[in-house]
Each structure stands twice: as C-alpha cells, then as structure tokens.
Homo-oligomer: A and B are copies of this chain.
Amino acid sequence: MSAPRADQRVRETLRNQRIELPSWAFGNSGTRFKVFAQPGVPRDPFEKIADAAQVQRYTGIAPLVSLHIPWDTVEDYGKLAEHAAALGVSIGVINSNTFQDDDYRLGSVCHPDPAVRRKAIEHLKDCLRIMAATGSDALKLWFADGINYPGQDDLTDRQRRLADALDEVYDALTGEQRILLEYKLFEPAFYATDVPDWGTAYAHTLRLGPKAKVVVDTGHHAPHTNIEFIVAFLIAQGKLGAFDFNSRFYADDDLMVGAADPFQLFRIMNEIVLADAVTPDSGIGFMLDQCHNIEPKIQAQIRSVLNVQEATAKALLVDRDALALAQREGDVLGANAILMDAYNTDVRPLLADLRVEMGLDPDPVAAYRRSGYLEKVIDERTGGVAAGWGA
C-alpha cells in the first residue's frame, strides 16, 4: 500500500477523477416549508457557471457543469459553452424538467392525457437539441411522475405510456447522445412512482438499448437498501450510467455527499475501484445533486467534491491481493479488517500532497474562503432575481 509504485497509480487515478457539478446547487433551494434565500446567489446560468468554476479552481477535479432545462434556458447555448470554457469548465449532462408546469399535476410522460404526454416528449426532444448546441452528450431523465392515491391511475397503463415516450426519445438520439434514466422511491408522488427503483429503470434501459443507462441517486432508495450492491450489479450488466451523489439520514434529504454516512460512500467507491471505473474512460458520470438549504453553496460543493475524493482515495488504498486471499479463505474478520484498514486511513495528507503536485492549494476550503469570492459576488449581484428551482 505504501509502496511507491502503488502510490503512483493511486495518484494517477485521483488526478484523473472527474466530479460533475449541478448548476442548480448554486441557486436557492429549500423544503416545502421555506426557501431561505442566500446572499450572492447567481441570477442566471452564466453566474451559476462562474460559481461552479470556483469549485473547479480549488479542487481541480470538477470541470463539468450539468444544466437543468428550463432553469438554465438561455438564448445562445454556444455563448454559454464559451463562457464555461473561458472559466475552465464545460457543460456536462442536460437535465430535463417535466414537473414544474401546471400541466404536469398528474404526471408528464405517464399522464392520462395524451396531449400532456406529447408536450413532455417534445420537451425531452428540445433537450436533445440543447445537447447538440452545448456539446453535451447525455440527457438525464428524472420523472416526477406517479400517483398519490391507490386507484388514481392504472399502474400498468402508465408503464406503457412511459415506455412509448422513452422509445420515442431514444429513437431521436443522434451521434454519441445517450439517455440516463433516474429512479426515485417517492416524492413528489406519494403512493406509486412510475420509476421507483433500479429494477424498473434497468428494465426500461434494457429494452431501449445500449445508449440508455441507469442513474443511481444515492438519496432515492428505500430504507436499508444496499446501494453498493446495486452499483456493483449495474456495472456488471454494463448498465450503470451515472451517479447523483448526495446523502441522507431520512428520505431524499439532499445533504452533502458523505455527510450522513461516509462509510457507505466509501463502500460505493470501493465497488467503483473494483470495477476500475473511477476515471472518465469508464463512461460513468459522477455528479453531485444536492440542496444546500442552510449552508453556503460554493463552499458546500467544494466540501462535497472533497468527500468523494477522500472516499475514492481510501478505496484505492485497499490491499486487493490480501483482500482476495482472505475472501477466498473465508476469513470473515480478516477480510473485513483489510477493508476497514483502508477506510480508517487518514488520506488527507496524501490528497494535500497531490493537490500541490497539481498546482493547487492543499486546503481547497480554506483557499476558497480566503479568496473573498463570496464577499465579492454578494457585492456585485444586486438587482435581478436570484436563481432557484423555479428559474
């Protein structure tokens, strides 16, 4: 583990890791009870990208920004992409939104009314066009569709409508474009959600074909779900498309990734390392999807990137040969101890060192705080409407 060669490989992998940031993490967010507005919050997609670039500036492994349409609708996407490039980042995944128009009260692509379904499908196709304009190659689909009361609609009919919509969007993919299908147990639907679990998302992406994969949002599971099992299974099936990282103590709390259960994050990254899938050539996206309701947003994004990085570093330090041997021998405690040895290692010195090698400050949070960026944008961003989930 401490051998120089192993260490070089670990550093090389960490250097090439990429975490993608969601533009909406920089706008205001909250619960149904209250959105606490924060000072200095961006007022448009350009300012969101500027904030995201701060995260990249101090971490060096977060050069991608996901957009959310229509929250990030602009007139000229080419200009937005250039703006990003000038700040050292680029546009990542495009996220569709089929839950905030009044028409979507009873669903979008699963709505009983074909006119609403048509509207939703057209929005998804619009997103494909925005992908072309921004250079993005992946459309992330989260459907809030579902029903609140037993009997409200027919579960099987809704699956058929969903399948039809997905088929149409899949057929419209061009070039390298891909679909990433997300599942979620509940919220905003409270009785049945149309894509509630990985099994449903898996079955649909299997029918669609190789350009459709599954998104694992770490906050979207039933209590007690073993997420790393799902990760390992989907990788083995060639169907893991991306993560939406966040953490939770209860439901879809959308806290910072690694904040609620850092050991779980380590176990997830351990499966990623096992599958040699840390770096971008794996084709798997590692995105954050969080709500910083009460904490400052840029700093929280930096913290989240570091949390993923630390978990990855620990996973890379697992002594794989010793672990495989202990597993083969059925040495329950020995195998567990080898895994825990890596988890219990303090990787922060290694990462600080790596950052210096990469020309970064060894302590990204402190460097960001010292920079005065937040104070500056609080001063500058007066007037206009702060971005939130509505815009």
A residues sitting closer than 8 Å to B (CB atoms) are 29-34, 36-37, 99-100, 102, 104-106, 112-113, 144, 148-157, 159-160, 185-188, 190-193, 196-200, 202-203, 206, 221-226, 228-230, 232-233, 235-237, 248-251, 253, 255-256, 259-263, 267, 270-271, 274-275, 293-296, 299-300, 303, 310, 323-324, 327-330, 332-333, 335-340, 343-346, 348, 365, 389
Contact = CB atoms under 8 A, between A and B. Distances in A.
Nearest to A191: B249
Contacts of A197: 197-199, 225
B151 A339 contact: yes
A185 B250 contact: yes
Contacts of A294: 105-106, 148, 332
Contacts of A271: 155-156
Contact of A295 (B102, B224, B333): B333
B155 A232 contact: yes
Given A159-B236, A228-B155, A271-B155, A344 B310 contact: yes
B105 A36 contact: yes
Contacts of A199: 197-200, 202-203, 230, 233
21 contacts: A29-B32, A32-B389, A36-B102, A36-B105, A148-B293, A148-B294, A148-B295, A149-B259, A149-B295, A151-B338, A153-B335, A156-B271, A157-B327, A186-B249, A200-B233, A202-B203, A203-B233, A221-B222, A222-B225, A262-B263, A303-B337
